[in-house]
Amino acid sequence: MARTEIRVSGLGGQGVILCSTIIGKAAAIFDNRHATMIQAFGPEARGSACSAQLMLSDDPVAYPYVKNPDVLITMSPDAYRLFIPQLKPSGLLLYESDLVTPDKLVPAGVKLFGIPATRFAEEIGKRVVLNIVMVGFFTGLTGLISHDSVEKAVRDSIPAGTENLNIRAFERGYEYGNELRNKSI
């Protein structure tokens, strides 16, 4: 991984910041790479725009701001509309397919991958693990960070007593992403 710019976006309450934290922690602590994260959210606790900028690199990161992400993870229609124009033409769009409908705003050359993450989270037992499903999806689809490193970061970042639920959510997203990755190769 030379340098990868990622934006994770959605609404407050969807776990955007935790999703970003887990990806960054997996890269920096458990894969021994470099990572930075900057988060932004509205003044409301839930329902407002929320995003995080992640920079993953083999080398130290001197400038942590993402201008044109290589990967855009989006979990809400508003976040999609706000950030899709910034995605690099050769980038990846990972989106919550029951909530986001890609349209003509997608830059030419972008590869699109959707996952019904909310539905998967509900099937697992709680809608609140939508973000962990997305972490797994990102991990399985991109291969940028190892499965084991991300699983360790999930376990290290979630409340005690929720490990089983969160690991099931991570694995469900990972399997789906890995399956799509194998089909697109």
Q: What is the pLDDT of residues 141-165, one digit of tens each?
A: 999 999 999 999 999 999 999 999 9
Q: What is the pLDDT of residue 12?
A: 85
In one-letter notation, the amino acid at residue 50 is C
CB atoms within 10 A of CB 98: 14
Nearest alpha carbon to residue 120 among 160, 175, 179, 181: 175
Helix (H, G, I), strand (E, B) or coil at 136: helix
Residues 95-116: pLDDT tens digits?
999 999 999 999 999 999 999 9
Which of 121, 117, 123, 125 lies closest to 100, judged by CA? 117
Q: Count Cβ atoms within 10 A of the Cβ of residue 159 and give its class: 0-12 exposed, 13-18 middle, 19 or more buried.
A: exposed
User: How are strands ordered across the β-sheet holding 71-74?
Assistant: 34-41, 49-57, 3-11, 71-74, 92-96, 111-115
**pLDDT above 60 (res 93):** yes
Residue 124 predicted with pLDDT over 80? yes
Instruction: Give the 3-state secondary structure of residue 75.
Output: coil
Whole-number Cα distances in Å, 13 to 40, 54, 71, 131: 13, 19, 21, 10
Phi, psi (degrees; rounded to nearest 5) at 96:
-80, 105
Mean pLDDT, the chain, as a whole number?
Answer: 93
- pLDDT computed for residue 46 by the predictor: 63
Q: What whole-number distance in Å separates Cα of residue 93 and Cα of residue 88?
A: 10
CATH class entry, domain 3-184 = alpha beta
User: Does position 185 have pLDDT exceeding 90, yes or no?
Assistant: no
Strands 34-41 and 49-57: antiparallel
Encode pLDDT of 21-35 as tens digits: 999 999 999 999 999
55 has which bridge partners? 5, 36
Percent of the chain exceeding pLDDT 90 equals: 86
